[in-house]
Amino acid sequence: MAGSAAHRAVLQRRTPDSHRPQPPSPPHRRLPAVFSRRPSATRRTHPLIRAVGAPAVGYAHPMTAGAEQYLPATRGLPALRAAAATCRGCGLYENATQTVFGVGRRSAPLMLVGEQPGDREDRQGRPFVGPAGGLLARALDDAGISAEQTYQTNAVKHFKFTRTSGARRIHQKPGRTEVVACRPWLIAEIDAVHPRLVVALGATAAQALLGPSFRVSAHRGETLELSGDLGTRRRPRLLATVHPAAVLRDRSGDRDKAYRLFVEDLRRARDILSSPPV
């Protein structure tokens, strides 16, 4: 036994450190999630992108850079329309049927800007073909404005919606991130069409052009100017009013009055177009 102990002592003296059994290393410290190279599941499914009981179909990805990267070198309407069909600037494209770009002729004096396509617009690929579009067409006629004078588009080009338990798709208001992500298309349309007047139909359209603090209720029917900070090459005048869908949904008990006020705003737009250019 003594010899065996002495033999082990000799072996220990001759064994290099690198061959000796090493104590177990401490567990690796996990880096905070903010330093993770791989997006976490929490980041991809942030709770704010889902409504309780009704998951939002389509949302703005926080890591996307918006529509700017999809703008074509040629900024005519045909080139813009073709490029917008491939836009992935926010997550709304994932569930929408298609991009719904503006319609109308170049140099139309009046540009009408709504919020986003609805269910019917998403299926047909044209703005203002649903019930709100029907009311808008009637109001334009009552205001003495020919449809040929208008270019019609939306602040957001894809349909954002939630699904009910059945197949019905319910409109959901786009968020500020989605509005800003899509705004390069609207700015490019303004530059390509060169309208004398832009009519913003509803809060989303108005705030896309005038900032999130703008209130239609405070400035409805006023003649305004676009800020140079928006980035448009041209600065047409602007008038804000309600969206025709708001007239359809009016709960004041006097929908006829809501419609008359809407027509009066469009008549004011007609009068602006009839006046000499500033």
Could you list the pLDDT tens digit for every one of the 278 residues in the chain? 445 454 454 444 444 444 455 555 444 433 333 223 333 333 332 222 222 233 333 333 444 569 999 999 999 999 999 999 999 999 999 999 999 999 999 999 999 999 999 999 999 999 999 999 999 999 999 999 999 999 999 999 999 999 877 778 988 999 999 999 999 999 999 999 999 999 999 999 999 999 999 999 999 999 999 887 888 888 899 999 999 999 999 988 899 999 999 999 999 999 999 988 76
Radius of gyration of the chain (CA): 29
The residue behind tokens 């006629």 is 141
* Helices 176-193 and 77-84, packing angle to 10 deg: 160
Q: Which residues pair with 197 in a beta bridge?
A: 110, 237
**Predicted pLDDT at 176:** 96
Tokens of residue 253, six digits = 């008990």
**Predicted pLDDT at 43:** 32
Query: For residues 144 and 245, what is the distance between their CA atoms, to the nearest angstrom?
Result: 20
Query: For residues 205 and 219, what is the distance between their CA atoms, to the nearest angstrom?
Result: 14
Give the count of alpha carbons within 13 A of 88, CB side only: 4
Describe the strand order of the beta sheet including 56-57 as a list of residue ranges. 56-57, 161-163, 169-171
Tokens of residue 200, six digits = 């913003």
Query: For residues 155 and 168, what is the distance between their CA atoms, to the nearest angstrom?
Result: 23
List Cα–Cα distances, 164 to 37, 59, 80, in angstroms: 37, 17, 34
**Predicted pLDDT at 248:** 96
The residue behind tokens 């027509």 is 263
Q: Which residues, 6+ apart, have CB-to-CB distance to 245 below 8 Å?
A: 118, 131, 132, 202
Q: Are 64 and 43 in contact (CB under 8 A)?
A: no
**Predicted pLDDT at 238:** 97
Of 269, 87, 111, nearest to 194 (Cα)? Answer: 111
**Predicted pLDDT at 85:** 97
pTM, two decimals, is 0.76
Query: For residues 54 and 169, what is the distance between their CA atoms, to the nearest angstrom?
Result: 11
- Between CA 74 and CA 226, with CA 117 as vertex, the angle to 5 degrees is 60
DSSP category for residue 59: -
